[in-house]
Structure 1
């Protein structure tokens, strides 16, 4: 195993563990499904709450459905994407790309675990401003979004001369 692959996989594992621990805390200690909403922070019109949402779709609830096979199909799709990203991770050229891919892989697998356990993803982080609420999300979702943004930034910012030529 290459150092790049090992580093990316360890980062993915760290994010997966933190995500699953946060979901355990929300479900078992806070018991958010029973409470539904807990205001945490309010700074003028900006706020942060813990709000329970069972997401049966993908990011932002897209493709959500109640069918018996819905969570299995979405899980298989996420695992296929993670497999593709693993191949990319093995050839990552920079630390930014290594950690970005690790974040996306760890987040995707963490959400697959939820789908297999519960038939839906546990979402609970609710950020809002002036009455406008962003989609409720979790740590895995944040890792995926940050990872994708880092990959896009790398593609747009890194000079072509610093990129390796394909073998």
Structure 2
């Protein structure tokens, strides 16, 4: 139940924040929030993370990303059921990534592209705009990697002693 609660919470936060942006901004509009560091913007991304493949003008691109999103959500959910007894610490990571993937998948179905609005920049370096779903995916992946490293070190320690 915990898994689905986290997934639904991520989807809700993502979709509500994107709806606020759609209602409050014109496409490509930017509002400076913290000068020299953070803006709210309204941009769309037809590609993958960091706009990879966004410039590819092919009819298959949209369906490719829809398929990848569906496979990711299903794969993560299956992974959750496989790992839940083996290592419960991976479960939040699976849920965060699945919720983020589902949030962006909903955008692709509804809008044909993902709505991005969080825009950070420091010392002339501009990070690509992203959203709540992207944040959940990155945090979930980071948590998964961290837990895997800690588990690996723990297993190595057990094997040595």
Q: Give TM-score, length-normalised by structure 1.
A: 0.84
Q: Aligned residue for 2:133?
A: 140
Counterpart mapping for 1:94-133 below 5 A: 94-133=87-126
Task: Determine the C-alpha separation between the residues in 1 that align with 2:108 and 2:19.
Answer: 14
Q: 1:165 is matched with which residue? A: none
Aligned counterparts of 2:49 and 2:156: Cα–Cα separation in 1? 34
User: In the TM superposition, what whole-angstrom CA distance separates every residue of 1:19-66 from its partner, at most 9, and x where no partner exists?
Assistant: 0000000001x1242x61100113xx5x11012221011111112234
Unaligned 5+ segments in structure 2 are none
Matched, 1:19 2:10: no
Match of 2:50 in 1: 60
CA distance in 2, matches of 1:154, 1:38: 37
Is the 2:33–2:39 Cα contact (8 Å) retained in structure 1?
Answer: yes
Q: Displaced runs of 4+ in structure 1, greater than 4 A?
A: none
SS in structure 2 of the partner of residue 125 of structure 1 = strand
CA contact 1:78–1:108 (8 Å) conserved in 2: yes
Q: Which runs of 5+ in 1 are unaligned?
A: 1-5, 163-167
State the alpha-carbon separation in 1 of the partners of residues 8 and 127 from structure 2. Answer: 27
CA distance in 1, matches of 2:126, 2:89: 30
The answer to whether 1:86 aligns with 2:104 is no
Q: Tell me the C-alpha RMSD between the 2 structures.
A: 1.8
Q: How many residues align?
A: 152
Contact 1:54 1:123 in 2 (8 A): yes
TM-score between the two structures when normalised by the length of structure 2:
0.87
1:79-126 residue CA offsets vs partner (Å, 9 max, x unmatched): 112211111111334453111111100000110110011110000100
Structure 1 range deviating more: 89-98 or 73-82: 89-98
